[in-house]
Structures are given as C-alpha cells and as structure tokens.
Structure 1
Amino acid sequence: MTGWFHSWRAAVRIARRDAWRFKGRSFLVLAMIALPILGVSAADLTLRSAELSAAEEATRLMGAADAVVSDAGYAGIPVHQNPEGRVTTPADPKYDDRPPPEGRTAVRKALPAGATLLEDHQGSAKVRTAHGLLHTGIRELNAADPLAKGILTPLEGRFPQRPDEVAVTSRFLEESGLEVGGTLAARGLDREYRIVGSYEIPDDLKTPQVNALPGALLKPLREALEGSGMAAPDISTTHLLKLPADSGRGFTWNMVKEANTKGVTVVSRAVLIDPPPRSEVPLSQREGYSSFQMNGDGANTSALIAAATIVGLAMLEICLLAGPAFAVGARRSRRQLGLVGANGGDRRHIRAIVLAGGLVIGLAAAVVGTVLGLVLTFVLQPVLEEALGQRFGAFDVRPLELLGIGAIAVLTGLLAAVVPAVTASRETVLSSLTGRRGVRRSSRVLPLVGLAAALLGGAIALYGSLFSDHMVIVAGGSALAELGVVAMTPAIVGLFGRVGRWLPLSPRLALRDSVRNRGRTAPAVAAVLAAVAGTVAVATYATSADAEQRAAYQAQLPHGAVSAFITEDGGRDVPAVREAVQRHLPVEARADVARIAIGRAGCDAYSSDAGCGRTEIVVPPANECPLWVNPSGTDGDPAARFSKEERRKLAEDWRCTPGDSGMVPTSDGLLVADATLLRVLGVDDPGAERALAEGRVVALDKRHTDASGTLSLRVITDAKAADEAAMRNEPVPGKVKALPAYQVPGDVRSYGVAGVLTPATAKALGFGTVPVGSYFSTDQTPSSEQRQRLEGDLSRLGGAVQLHIETGYTSENSITLLALTVFAGLITIGAAGIATGLAQADAEADLKTLAAVGAAPRVRRTLSGFQCGVVAVMGVVLGTAAGVLPAIGLRLTERRSKTAWWEEGRDAGWASAADLPNVPIVIPWETFGALLVAVPLGAALLAALLTRSHSAVARRAAT
C-alpha cells in the first residue's frame, strides 16, 4: 500500500512539472475541460439562485403579512382551493355544469377576530406621459406600511403618503420620459399627482406601474370614466392579513378551509412553507385536479435522463478532444518515459505518469471552471436578473452539486488520458529513447464491436421511432450507434487511405501518414465526428421543425398588407391613425372599415358593460357541424350521438372545418366597407363588387349563407344578458334580421372577415356605424425603420392601436443554425489542429529528413495543412452520416405521437381533417455544405498558416 502511494505521488509530481513545462498544451487541454465545467456550474448557480424558496415567494407576495385573502366572487357560497390559491372553484359539484352565482362576500366577517387587514387594489389605466399616453398598471397599496415590506422595493425617493402623491416603477420612468419630482395624470381624470419616488417589483422588473394610496386613483378614475361613457378600469381587491401576536402557528390549512366555507380564498404563508398532504386538500379529490399540478414524477425522470445524456455526451466529446492532446504530451515525453523504464520503472509506472497528467489537468480544470463559474455568476447576476425580468433570491451555492460538477472534470481528465497511457506503456525502452517507432497493428476486435454497436443502436433507434412513443429510446439508440461508429473509426480511417492513389503528392502523403498512424488520427477524427454529429442532428431537427412551423403559420393578412384598428372612444382617433400609417408606410391602397354600432357609441366592440350591444351572425341549421351542436332541446356532448365511423366521416365534412382566422376588430367578423377592402384582402371576384353596389352583403365563409342566399344577423341590445344566456346554454336574446347576401364562390382566404356590407347598405338597414380603422396594401413590405417611426407616432396619439404588418413567417432558426455551424467549425478546427500537432510531433524526423534532402520550406506548411484537412474531412463526412439518424428518428416519433393525438381527437369528435399534423423531415443542405466544404478548407488553411516552415536539421541518433 505504501509503495503504491509513493509511486503515485512521484507520478503526480512528474505530471505537474510536465504540465508546467509545456504550458501551451496544458492550457489547451485545461480550457477544453474547464469551459464546460464553467458553463455547467454557472448554470447550476443561476438556476438555484433564481429558484425562490417558499419563504422568499411568500415575502414577495404578502410582505410581512400572514396571508393574502380575497373574495372568491361567488356570493359567499363555499369554495375549494388548492394550497397555493391559484385554483378556486365552487365546492358544490352542481356548479360544474352551470355558472355559479355572482356577488360579493363580506371578507372581514369570514376572518378571525383581531386580525389586521391592509387593502390592496389593482387595475390599469392610460397615463399621460412626455410622449403621449402609456397603458400602465395601477396598484393602490400603502407600501410604506410595515405589513407590505418586501412586496415593492424602493429605489429613489419614497412611497406616497398623501392622496395626491404616487410612486412609479423604474420601467415606467424609462418608457414615459417622466422623472421623480414631476407630475402625471390619468386620461379622463381632471387632477394631477406628484411623483415622489421610484421602486421595482422584484418578480417583474419590466412592468410599468404606478403606486398610490388606497382610494386615491382607481376609484375616482372609474367614477369619472363611467360618467363620460369611456371604458372604466376593472379593479381587483385583495387584503394583506396579519393575525394577532398570540395566534400561534399562523394561518393554518384548517383555517384556510374554514374561510373557504364562507366564500373567501386565502393564500397563507404557513401553508406555502409547509403545504398539507394531498389527502387533506378537498380539491384534489375532484376530477380534473391533476391538470392543476406542476411537473410530475414522469417529467422529472425525463429531465434527469436528458440531463444525464447531455452530461455523458459532453464527457465523451471532451475525452475525444483531450485524448489526442494527452497523446501529444506522451509523444513529446517519450524520452522522459523511456528513462523511467531504463531506471527500473515498469509499465504501470508509465501508465501512472500519463494518467496523473489527466488527474492534474482535471483537478486544475475543476478548480478553474468552478471558481470562474462562481465569479461570473456573481458579477453577472444583475445582468441576468434584468434579462430574466426578476430578482434572484439568495445567492444559493450548493457545495455538493459543485463538487459533483468538479468531479466530472477530474473523471473526464482521467478518461481522456486512459488511451494515451496504455499506448505509452506499450512503448519499448529502446524505441522511447531513440525515438524509433515500432510497427503497430490495429485491433481487429474493436471494429467488429463497433459495427455490432452501430447496428444495434440503429435498430433500437428505428424501433423507438416506429413502435414507441418514448424519445429516450431513440436518443439512446442513436448514442449507441454513434459510439459504434467511433469504435469503427480506426478501420474507417484505413478505408479512406484507398482514396490516396488519385490525389496529388502532398495530400497523398498527408492521407497515408494519417492512415499509417491511426492511433493519433482516429481519436481526432472521432472528436470531429462527435461534434459534427451533434450539430447535424440538431440542425436537421431544427430545420424540420422550422418547416413544420412554416406550414402551420396562418397569415393574418396578405403578405405586405397592414391593418390598424382602434376600437375605443367611438373611433375618435381613427382619422389620426389612418393619416399616420399613410405618412410612414409605402401605402398603395387604403380600405376604411367600420363596425355596426348597437347601443352606446363609446362601447368597445367586445364590451359587455351596461348599454352595450353587438351583432352576431346566425349559422343556418343546415350548415352547422353536427359534431358541435346539439339538436334543439337536448344536452350533453353532441359528438356522443354518433359512432366512431360517423365521427371520422364528419371530420372530413366542410362544415366541421374551423374557419379562417385574422385581425378583425369585431366579434362576428362583419365589417362595413367598400369594394377596396376586397381588393386589399386579395378577393378577385367581379361578382362580389357588383353585389356590394347592389346593396347585398358579401359573405366570405359559406357557412353563413343558406340555400336562398340569405345571411341572418342577430341584433343583441344587451350583451351581458346574451353572455349569461350562452353560459346557461339558453337561446341568445335578440332580433334576427335576414340580409340578402352574395357568397363568394370557392375557398378563399378571408383572414377572419366573415362578411362585408357598404355604409349605404348599413344605413338602409337602420344600423349606425362606428369607424374602427383601415386595411392597407403596400407596394413593398415596410421596413423595420418605417415601422418604428410609425409606432412612435401612434404612441403619441394615446389610444390602444392594434397595428399588424404582415411580413409572413419569420424563421428564428437561421441564427441557431449559423451558431451551430460556427460551433461545429470551431470544434472541428480545434480537433484537427490537435491532430496536426500530434502529427508534427510524431513525424518530426520525417520533416527534418525532407529538409535535409532539400525540400522547399513551403512543403512543411503544405503537408501540415493537408494533414489537418484530411482529419477534418474524415470527421465531417462520418459525423454528417451519424448525425442524421437521431434527427430522423425523433421526427418520426413526433409524427407518430402527433398523429395518434389527432386520431384520438378525430374519433372523439373535436378534430377535423384540416387538423391533421404535418411533421416533415427536411435535410439542411446549406449547413451540410458549410460543414463539408468550408470547415475542412478553413482548418487546412489555418494549420498551414500557423505551421513553421523552417526546422533545424537534427543530428543522427547515436547507435
């Protein structure tokens, strides 16, 4: 035991000195191992710090209070809730099929005696700023009260103490152009408020918000807007609750359930920190509760498997990359290792010295990577918080996790040095001292094992993609197949040698040298293979997913068209919006649109406030999908009336195909406009224009017209009563008008527009109209600069303008594919460079012989460049072939899974033939071309430029 310790101690000392002597090579290997460790440790620290504890979440939610209580909104009937308070439902199951009563609950009467309450009101409003109007959140909370400490973080000044004072978030100051000490006013309210401070919301740093005292802003604003006919803000109210000092353990789960019986929802600090078992949660016993749960054990298991796979592949790639570097070190230290053997050292001592090199580099990489991860995470924490939009909790350092990450670095260093250690130990003392190379034969067993692993892995991946829904099987089979290809690399490198007979002199020498010295070529080719295979797999998958998203993309307008709507204040700002669009964009044609106004003109198109109404297109019974509508007087699932075969047949019926979608400023898609709108939407039908001129409605969806060419329109004067009737599955109240219509033939893209009638027709039918905006066609797609100038102009108008510029599908994968290609290129060049360095160290005698016989200096550069290029080409070719397999397997698995889900929906009656998933498999030929041509060429040129062309002629070794 003592001898073993002393021998390893000596080996570590030799390895440490050797690493210090060759700093460049040591730094290269250290960086290869330390960079992934830095990334993983930084990610671990970031995730742990960003993950709030239950106590930290409670403080941000309720400050120093014991609970947050609120009215459930069900007129005091008992309710059930989950422990987090996110889900609340009536306790009586009879309300599962009908709406519960609406009404307020006396919150204070439902709480323990002696409790202290602090009101917290939240709403939103448009606030006048230096640029115009800004829609911002309003929170009425006495943030200076000790009970609210921790909810809002003060930055400058103070929180309001008087009704005419407010504080604002720093984001509000950035967007509004206002400053602390200035004033602000809400639109519709004839008073100003002085800004006395700024603050931030720890959980949402990007939200503009105004803080005022309770009752100082929202209530007077609501009263003022209701009197003017404009939409008033909705106000939600909660209460921060503090129990008496002698209450004991806080607001317990039993107290929460007691409050639930009185129609009150409670989020308790004590319950958040120590949640009750599921058996004590009444809501968990009800059907459908599982949908409210967070990630289950299955998701966690999948995440662990994915993480383990990523870590394993990363270790494999690092070993393949660092292995040749250790081989370079062993090759350069051949004489030193030979002296160890000459002085009585055996093979295990030589193996120990090379392995100790991996141990030393691994330990250094673990320390450097972990320390840099700690430092960078701490320094960059404010930047990360701003990017994520929330403050982290405590800087959470988990020593055991960091030690585990560091252990991966040490293990990786050792594994990377295993093959070079075995190779070095097999060198004879004579060959090590004289620098002579013996004849090495490649293993005949390893390629056979690799072939078996490749075939088995391919079969597993094929099985997973065709017969299983688990992507882990595909990923595992693909990884096994890739490892098999790696094991076959020495034999495959030998096959590449047969190409040399058709090559010129320099590349032929480089190829033959690489084939002859497979011990150093194969690891480098395998490293390139691993890097390229991963890149190709991700690129193929991303390109295929991009094609799927492109096919699924639903354009809201024709390409290059623009829509600008403003549905509030009775269309007051519509003319200014139209003028702004025409001023900033290359408009070709403008189609002004209006909506039919029922009730008060100031009502929003979707409003259910008192005095507001709307119109609704009535679908003729013959055009209704039988799967969606019950016959009159019946309840239940309408699809249940049909057999599975009948539901499959109805899924292909045009009546059961979802309608077209788009940007439309009305609830039923009916617009008041002229024929210009049809031309902007791309509807080329002379009959439609004649129908408009004749006073008929042009219908763009054939579901809306009956056999006689009539479109039925229900006029609803009380929108709120209509919504309540719909919730009770009762007939919607309203008078139905039959309008003469013209149905545009064929299937046309309507972009959500159900029908068009002219202003004259609307007037003749007795309808009032309200302008809502315009559609525009352009002679060229507006640029980003034009859009920015337009949006800046519209922001000064103050209204909530709904602007859409149809630019078509925009792929987000182009940058990803470029980054992957660059990453693979860097890894390929690095691995090929290591192989080139090993080749130069191994072939130094040959290069000096070339110099001695009069070879030109450029021969050395040319040979090094081709050696590097040969490794890169072989690795890229093999990696491309190996990387396509997992991508295709995963896409086939997704196709099966999505098709099965669609078939289930079709058989259940809620999916149509139009919903059949399209899961294409697309090969990224551009990425392949860049990898196959540009990367090897770049690697060869870089190696040639960095290689010294002159070398001293060595003396002949003594014999």
Structure 2
Amino acid sequence: MSVAVQDPPLELGTGHGGMPARRAVIRWAWRMFRREWRQQVIVPALLLLAMVGTTVGLGIGVNAPSDAAVFGTANHLATLASTGTQLDADLAELRGSFGTVDVIAHGKKIPVSGSANGVDLRAQDPAGPYGRALLRLNQGRWPQGPDEVAVTGRVATLFHLSLGGTWEQGGQRRTVVGLVENPLNLHDAFALVAPGQIAAPDHVDVLIQASRAEVTSKPRPDGMSIQIRSDEGDTTSVVVLVLAVIGLVFVGLMAVAGFTVMAQRRLRALGMLGAIGASHRHVRLVMLANGLVVGLVGAFGGAVAGVAVWVGLSPRLESSLGHRIDRFHLPWTPLLVAVLLAAVTSVVAAWWPARAVARMPVVAALSARPAQPRPAHRFAALGGLLLAAGVVSLYLADQTRIPYVLGGVLATAVALLLLAPAGVAAVGRLARHAPLASRLAMRDLARHRSRSSAALAAIGLAIGIAAVVALSTAVTAAKAAAPTGGNLPADQIVLWLSPEATNGPVPLLTPGQAEVARKQVDAIAADLHATSVLALTGAVDPNQPMERGGKAPAVLGRPRPAGPGEPGSVMYSSTDSIPLFVATPELLAHYGIDPATVAADTDLLTPRAGVDEYDLIPGRNRNWQPKLQHATLPAYSSLPNVLITPHGMDGLHLTTMPVGWLIDAPAAVTAAQVDTIQLAAVAAGLNVESRPTGVDQARLAAQFTAAGIAVALGVLAMTVGLIRSETARDLRTLTAAGARRGTRRSLTAATAAALAACGAVIGTACAYLALLAWYHRELHWMARPPLANLAAILVGLPVVAYLGGWVLAGREARAIARQPLD
C-alpha cells in the first residue's frame, strides 16, 4: 500500500504563503524591473547623481584645509621666546613633562623686496615625530650641513634660485640642495635648514601630543604661549551627510512621483496578482522589492561613479584647496552610510504608492482606475501647524540658539511638503476659470494628487531654498548700504598687517620693512586718490612671547567660564573683543580730539559707558580698573572705538607697534577698486578690509535663484514626462474627438506652468514667513526685497515652464501600445 501526502489547501486572503510566496513575488518584481528599466531610469539616475555629489562633497570636506597644516599630527603647539641656556632648559622641561616633542626653530624673517612680510627661515627635522607631515621633498635632497638650504617654489621664484645654486642672505652663503613644500599648506613659503643650524632663533615652536588635562596640570616653562588644535572631529562629514540627506529628500520626492506612476501603470497586473490569491503584503512587497532594487542600483552605481569622479577631480582641486590630496583619502564609513541612506530613500519612496495600491479592491485595480485622492485639508491642517511651530521656533531662536534653529528649519521644511497636496487641490479648484485645454490639465493634476503632490513638494523645496538665500543676501546688502553701522564707512578701507586684523599676531617689522610697507600703502592711497592716510598703532606687552611669528596687540575681551576639557578656568572669544588703539596725536587730530582736553590720569578714551565686564588681553588683567573719559569716536566695529592713552600705556608697561593704516577715499569704494587694492595689498603682504559693497551678495542671490529655477525646471521636465506618458490614451481620445496639435501642446504647457506657479508661491511664502521670524528684531532690513529675484521665481519660472512645455511637448506616437498584464 502506498501513501501520498497532499499539501493542505491554501485559504486565499488569510495567510501569507510563507517564504516561497515571498520569493516568487520578489522574482516577479525583479523580472518586471528588468523589462521596464527604461521607464524607471529616472529614479536610479537621480540617486546616482545624488551619490556622486555626496562622494565628491565628502572628499572635499575631509580634505579641506585644517589645523593639520600647523600642528602636523600633534594637538598642541607651544611657542618659546627664550634663547641660549634658558631655551635649552625650557625644552628639557617640556620633554620631562610630555615625553616626545618635535622642535621647530624659526630664525629672523628674511626680507623680501616690496613686501612687508618676510620669508620664514626654519630648522626642522624632516623625520620628526609630529612634524614630518609638514614637509615634502619634491627635488634634490634634505639639507644636512651648516651651508645647505632647501626652499619652496615661491621662495625660489622670489629670489631667482635654482637647485644647486648659491643663496646669500644675512652675510651667509648657502647652497640650495632641495626644493620642498608643506603638503598641507601649499601657500607656506619658507626656507629650510638642518636642525640646530639657527644659532639664535627668533622663536621656537614645539609640537606636543597630550591631553588638555595633561597640558593644564603638568609643569611648563614660564612665558610660554600654547595653541590648542580645534577638536573638530568629523564635523565636516556630518555636515556633508546632512546636506546629502536634504538632497535625498528631494530625490525621494521625485521617486514617490515615479513609483506612483509605475504603480498606476502596473495597476491591472497587481490587481490580477491579488485576484489569484496574493495578500496585501504580497502586493506591497512587489513595490517595495522594486524600490529596493532601484535604490541599490542607484546607490552603488553612484558610489562607484562618485569615487571615479573624485579620483579624476582631486588633482585639479589641490591649487584651490591649498594642499596635496590623497586620491583615495575618503571617509569610507560616511560614504557607506550615504549608500545605505540612498537605498533606504528609494524603499521609503516606494512604500507610500505600495500602501495605496495594496489597499485598492481587486475589481478597482483590474479596471486600472486611479484611487480617490485623500482629502487635502488633513495635510493642510498638519502642514499649517508645523509651519506655525517652525516660525515660532525660529522666532525664539533669536539667531543664536542652535536647537531652536534646527527645529524651526526642519518644521518649516516638513510643513512645505505637507502643504503640497493643498496646493494641488487649489489648482484643481481654479481649473474652472481656465480655457479648455488648461482646465483638463489642471484637473488631471488634482485627480492624480499623489504623484502631483510629490513633484510639487520637490519644486517648492528647491524654490524655498533659493528664496531664502535671495532674501537673506538682500538683508546683508541692505545692511552694507546703510549709512551707519557695520565694520567701516563706505569711503574708507583699512590695510592690516595681520591676516586676522586686530585679533591675531602682527609681524614685527624691521625699520626697512616698515618703510617698504608704508611706501606700498602710499601707492595704494595714490591710486585711490585718497584724502588722508592714518597710521593705526596698537599696544603690545614687550614681555609677551612670540606667536606665529608675531605678537598680538592688546584687546579687551569678555570672559566666559571654560568648558569641559578647556585649559584654565576662563576663556575668551575673538568675536567678542574690543581692540585697543594707541591715542597718538595723529589719531586724536583725525577725530577732532584736542589732546589738551584729555585729563592726565585718563587711561581710556571711549564713547562707551564702561568696560567693567572686559579683561585686558594679553595678561588677563582682571584687576585693572581703568579711568575712562568720554570721547566722540566712530561707532564702526573695525575703527578705533577705545583709545589707550600714554598714562594707560605706562601703567601697564605696554609699548607701541604698528598694526595698519586707515585710508579715506573721496567717494564710496567700488567693488572693482577693492579687487585692484586686494591684488596690490597681497603683493605687499598686507590685508584689506572694506565695507561690503553688496556685489558678492547680489551675485550669490542670482546664482542660487538660477540654480533653484533650473532644479525646478528639471523636476517639471521629469514629472510632466511621467504624467504625459500615462495619459497617452486620453490624448488619443482627444485627438479622435477633433483636438488639434495645439491643444495637446497646451495640455503639457498648462501642466508644467500650474506646477511651477504653485511651487513658486508655496516655496516663497514659507521662506518669507521663516525669515520674518528670523529677523523679527530687525524687520526694517527686509523692507527692500530682491524684486528681480522674486520676479524671476514667481513670474519667470511659470512662464519658462509654459513655453518649455509648449515647445518640447513633441508629437503623438503613431503606435498605441497595449498595457501589459505582467
């Protein structure tokens, strides 16, 4: 007797069929993707472009200029100004406290004709434990003996040197044995000698690798200044990933539209799948599996293409970034995260259409009729609440509270997305006022609200970003054009000796270098037809150690408690400091102050009511109680606002040092004049500060506006192409009813124009509300909106979209393809 075991009957709609059913559905989804990949190429292409941009952005971010150009692989840089036996004792103390250190000695600056800044002469071990990353030999060999030197390319050009030639400086002849560079800072011009070959160094830098607690607690030499490497971590990669997420949200919105069209195209096939017993899970799994395949293809293909683009692009970025780039120095972990985010974006974008299709009755799916759109007022209500919350959060942020800023931006962006269905519904209600062809197109948008809303949200997001930049730059330009306030008057410029103006070390000039700098300033003033040139003098502590080849002038700094891991108990911010200028007779005369009216015991001249909340830096003299005398001085941030008198200088044992020159022009300095002055100043080793002219801001606004419009037009091209491909039978019906080619073109043009106009209005409105909350304390600056940019967005975009849709609509296909029942 034989026994046969029969499989139990499958009860349709009550089970899921287990793993065999899932495998069958996934295989079917994969076959459909292979057959219809041309119809789905938009989503993988967008993901590929997003991944290429993310990969290149991560590469630029991780290879951006950083503190490594100064610190090497160390995290602390100590500067010693001692000499002789005291220097040896200080170095021994540092080695005893921190173990391994790397010593870099700097000699007197080698003067350069026509420049206020000389060339750095340094003695450094090329194989040093922390500084080896700061040196690279391009030609020749490293200097070894007392009469050998290696120079950078810029130094060789300045002094007309060549490999094997002789260079005589300071009464000493040296043979050029090598051409070197700082691979982390290609703009670093220096001459390198062997360690120990600078007999009397001007100052010595010591690279140290230690924790901040060790630096604070362990003994260290007196008079030593120390710089701490900023603990940035991988913040650049995080910022790039955040921007990538924003881009993927945009791609996801387009993917939703694409998957919605695909779901509508497959609706009868999915209905047939449900008719033969597939559950809601299986129908949903078809779309999700398709989304996963599309996401993986786009993500991994984009990552490979991005790495290839980065390898080819990175050599061209070295000159702009100012340092050498390792072709394969990429943050691979963030890159993998970006790949996963791209794949997840595609799956999430496929989920909503999959959910909608799975919920459709089988009969409705077999009829291939679109599902009834959900009421738009629900989305509008939630979007309105989120928009209000975002505006309130930006209002409470007061431009300083980061959590409120992030929350406000996120809430406003999500609100913009949720308001898109309401915008599509409004387009449908306005259709009754439009001509016949436009009415059909607008009602078709409202009927297929799911795909139209996703495209509209993408357009609104792109336009909203462009509008925010345009409005913000308009505020900046308005502030620059204001007659008072800001850094400088429009008819004045300052030539600083320090690259950081009054917040950084100023190079100590020899009499010859000071004379050269003054001649360059006079030449610049002559070209500008200046009415006056005023020398600005700072106060410096003569016992202050050298810092980065110079000394920082005294400033008044507002103290704050030190944070975790910061050395000391008090910290100061360079952005909240007041520079001190010496009250020279020339400066007093320039501002109309009679020296005879200044009391003999006055320490500071200022229009401020008091400076009790500030400390004197350097020296951190918190016990100094200066005597103030009121004086009428300009209220600009970069002009003298606090003057220290000779009495104050003597009490603090300070000396004078030149810090810059103030030049008065006969009229407002134009952007072209600023560019010319910049070129002359850089050649002289000077740094120019001028009032912003607004030209750069206007250019930035125009670029972002053009980019936003271009992105919106790209979205429209893809969306309208998808929509028109799905309405081919409707177009043929209209043709059979007597509609001409112009009517068919009007349908496409009206579809594009309606989406463009609605997206422009929603994006601009959300941007305006957000910025009104952001600038609530200075709303008067928004009284001058960028009319040209707003007109380009609100009028130009719909017009271009309409014309583009009309011209590019194309002809009707000759053959009518049947919709497959795969």
TM-score by length of 2: 0.71
Contact 2:30 / 2:290 at 8 angstroms: preserved in 1? yes
Residue 705 of structure 1: CA displacement? Answer: 5.1
Q: Please give the alpha-carbon distance, in whole angstroms, between the structure 2 residues aligned to 1:449 and 1:490.
A: 7
Pick the aligned partner of 1:927 from 772, 786, 789: 789
SS class of match (2:586): strand
| Matching residue of 1:36 | 50
Aligned partner of 1:569: which letter?
A: G
Q: Please give the alpha-carbon distance, in whole angstroms, between the structure 1 residues aligned to 2:119 and 2:422.
A: 67
Contact 1:537 / 1:885 at 8 angstroms: preserved in 2? no
Pick the aligned partner of 1:670 from 585, 595, 620: 585
Contact 2:151 / 2:178 at 8 angstroms: preserved in 1? yes
| Alpha carbons of structure 1 residues 450 and 176: separation in structure 2 relative to 1, 3 Å | farther
| Matching residue of 2:106 | 122
Q: Please give the alpha-carbon distance, in whole angstroms, between the structure 2 residues aligned to 1:484 and 1:165.
A: 68
Q: Please give the alpha-carbon distance, in whole angstroms, between the structure 1 residues aligned to 2:812 and 2:36.
A: 21
In the alignment, is residue 700 of structure 1 matched against residue 594 of structure 2?
no
Aligned partner of 1:169: which letter?
A: T
In the alignment, is residue 528 of structure 1 matched against residue 459 of structure 2?
yes
Q: Please give the alpha-carbon distance, in whole angstroms, between the structure 1 residues aligned to 2:425 and 2:212.
A: 72
Residue 925 of structure 1: CA displacement? Answer: 4.1
Pick the aligned partner of 2:189 from 187, 190, 208: 208
Pick the aligned partner of 2:257 from 324, 341, 346: 324
| Matching residue of 1:717 | none
Q: Please give the alpha-carbon distance, in whole angstroms, between the structure 2 residues aligned to 1:399 and 1:578.
A: 49
| Matching residue of 1:821 | 705
More moved, 103-112 vs 327-336: 103-112
Pick the aligned partner of 1:944 from 806, 809, 817: 806
Q: Please give the alpha-carbon distance, in whole angstroms, between the structure 1 residues aligned to 2:815 and 2:327.
A: 63
| Alpha carbons of structure 1 residues 708 and 489: separation in structure 2 relative to 1, 3 Å | closer
Residue 165 of structure 1: CA displacement? Answer: 2.4
Residue 30 of structure 1: CA displacement? Answer: 1.0
| Matching residue of 1:679 | none
In the alignment, is residue 411 of structure 1 matched against residue 344 of structure 2?
yes
Contact 1:75 / 1:263 at 8 angstroms: preserved in 2? no
Q: How does 1:630-669 map to 2 (within 5 A)?
A: 667-669=582-584
| Matching residue of 1:370 | 303
1:498-533 Cα offsets, whole Å, 9 max, x none, are 333433343233223222332332222222223323
Contact 1:121 / 1:139 at 8 angstroms: preserved in 2? yes
| Matching residue of 2:446 | 515
Q: How does 1:358-397 map to 2 (within 5 A)?
A: 358-384=291-317, 386-391=319-324
| Alpha carbons of structure 1 residues 425 and 928: separation in structure 2 relative to 1, 3 Å | same
Residue 747 of structure 1: CA displacement? Answer: 8.0
Q: Please give the alpha-carbon distance, in whole angstroms, between the structure 2 residues aligned to 1:407 and 1:184.
A: 57
| Matching residue of 1:617 | none
Residue 266 of structure 1: CA displacement? Answer: 12
| Alpha carbons of structure 1 residues 148 and 539: separation in structure 2 relative to 1, 3 Å | closer
SS class of match (1:155): strand
Q: Please give the alpha-carbon distance, in whole angstroms, between the structure 1 residues aligned to 2:372 and 2:214.
A: 79
In the alignment, is residue 137 of structure 1 matched against residue 104 of structure 2?
no
Residue 356 of structure 1: CA displacement? Answer: 1.9
Q: How does 1:312-351 map to 2 (within 5 A)?
A: 313-341=246-274, 345=278, 347-351=280-284
1:718-773 Cα offsets, whole Å, 9 max, x none, are xxxxx9999899999xxxxxxxxxx9999899965999xxxxxxxxxxxxxx9x99
1:587-622 Cα offsets, whole Å, 9 max, x none, are 3x6657799xxxxxxxx9979889xxxxxxxxxxxx
More moved, 494-503 vs 868-877: 494-503
Residue 878 of structure 1: CA displacement? Answer: 1.6
More moved, 562-571 vs 859-868: 562-571
| Matching residue of 1:237 | 204
Pick the aligned partner of 2:147 from 145, 164, 167: 164
Aligned partner of 2:106: which letter?
A: Q
Contact 1:578 / 1:774 at 8 angstroms: preserved in 2? no
Residue 877 of structure 1: CA displacement? Answer: 1.2
Contact 1:50 / 1:392 at 8 angstroms: preserved in 2? no
Contact 2:115 / 2:516 at 8 angstroms: preserved in 1? no
Contact 1:574 / 1:773 at 8 angstroms: preserved in 2? no
Residue 264 of structure 1: CA displacement? Answer: 9.7
Residue 698 of structure 1: CA displacement? Answer: 4.6
Residue 948 of structure 1: CA displacement? Answer: 1.7
Residue 314 of structure 1: CA displacement? Answer: 4.5
| Matching residue of 1:19 | 33
Q: How does 1:105-116 map to 2 (within 5 A)?
A: 106-107=89-90, 110=93
Contact 1:869 / 1:940 at 8 angstroms: preserved in 2? yes
SS class of match (1:26): coil
| Alpha carbons of structure 1 residues 889 and 791: separation in structure 2 relative to 1, 3 Å | closer
Q: Please give the alpha-carbon distance, in whole angstroms, between the structure 2 residues aligned to 1:407 and 1:712.
A: 63
Contact 2:397 / 2:404 at 8 angstroms: preserved in 1? no
Q: Please give the alpha-carbon distance, in whole angstroms, between the structure 2 residues aligned to 1:703 and 1:6.
A: 97
Contact 1:205 / 1:390 at 8 angstroms: preserved in 2? yes
Aligned partner of 2:51: which letter?
A: I
Contact 2:379 / 2:422 at 8 angstroms: preserved in 1? no
Q: Please give the alpha-carbon distance, in whole angstroms, between the structure 1 residues aligned to 2:146 and 2:437.
A: 86
In the alignment, is residue 447 of structure 1 matched against residue 338 of structure 2?
no
Q: Please give the alpha-carbon distance, in whole angstroms, between the structure 2 residues aligned to 1:399 and 1:217.
A: 43
Residue 201 of structure 1: CA displacement? Answer: 1.9
SS class of match (1:211): strand
| Alpha carbons of structure 1 residues 252 and 542: separation in structure 2 relative to 1, 3 Å | closer
Residue 235 of structure 1: CA displacement? Answer: 0.7
Pick the aligned partner of 1:198 from 172, 179, 191: 179
Contact 1:259 / 1:265 at 8 angstroms: preserved in 2? no
Larger radius of gyration between Structure 1 and Structure 2: 1
Aligned partner of 2:724: which letter?
A: Q
Q: Please give the alpha-carbon distance, in whole angstroms, between the structure 1 residues aligned to 2:32 and 2:45.
A: 17
Q: Please give the alpha-carbon distance, in whole angstroms, between the structure 1 residues aligned to 2:215 and 2:229.
A: 19
SS class of match (1:161): coil
SS class of match (2:175): strand
1:389-437 Cα offsets, whole Å, 9 max, x none, are 34568956666544433222222111111232234445666666665x3
Aligned partner of 1:167: which letter?
A: A
Contact 1:144 / 1:159 at 8 angstroms: preserved in 2? no
Q: Please give the alpha-carbon distance, in whole angstroms, between the structure 1 residues aligned to 2:427 and 2:277.
A: 41
Q: Please give the alpha-carbon distance, in whole angstroms, between the structure 2 residues aligned to 1:558 and 1:807.
A: 6
- Give the total of aligned pairs: 729
Residue 157 of structure 1: CA displacement? Answer: 0.8
Q: Please give the alpha-carbon distance, in whole angstroms, between the structure 2 residues aligned to 1:257 and 1:382.
A: 41
Q: Which runs of 5+ in 1 are unaligned?
A: 77-102, 220-233, 242-249, 268-290, 596-603, 611-627, 629-636, 638-657, 673-696, 715-722, 733-742, 756-769, 896-916
SS class of match (1:854): coil
| Matching residue of 1:633 | none
Q: CA RMSD in A?
A: 5.7
Residue 848 of structure 1: CA displacement? Answer: 0.7
Aligned partner of 1:472: which letter?
A: P
Q: How does 1:547-562 map to 2 (within 5 A)?
A: 547-548=478-479, 554=486, 556=488, 559=491
Q: How does 1:518-917 map to 2 (within 5 A)?
A: 518-544=449-475, 547-548=478-479, 554=486, 556=488, 559=491, 568-569=511-512, 577=520, 580-581=523-524, 585=527, 587=529, 667-671=582-586, 698=589, 700-702=591-593, 704=595, 706=597, 777=665, 784=672, 788=676, 795=683, 808-810=692-694, 812-892=696-776
Contact 2:58 / 2:240 at 8 angstroms: preserved in 1? no
SS class of match (1:106): helix
Aligned partner of 1:415: which letter?
A: V
Contact 2:440 / 2:747 at 8 angstroms: preserved in 1? yes
Contact 2:671 / 2:695 at 8 angstroms: preserved in 1? no
Q: Which runs of 5+ in 2 are unaligned?
A: 1-14, 498-508, 544-555, 560-576, 606-616, 644-657
Q: Please give the alpha-carbon distance, in whole angstroms, between the structure 2 residues aligned to 1:337 and 1:182.
A: 81
| Matching residue of 2:574 | none
Residue 332 of structure 1: CA displacement? Answer: 3.3
SS class of match (1:135): coil
| Matching residue of 1:620 | none
| Alpha carbons of structure 1 residues 464 and 586: separation in structure 2 relative to 1, 3 Å | closer
Percent identity between matched residues is 23
| Alpha carbons of structure 1 residues 3 and 191: separation in structure 2 relative to 1, 3 Å | same
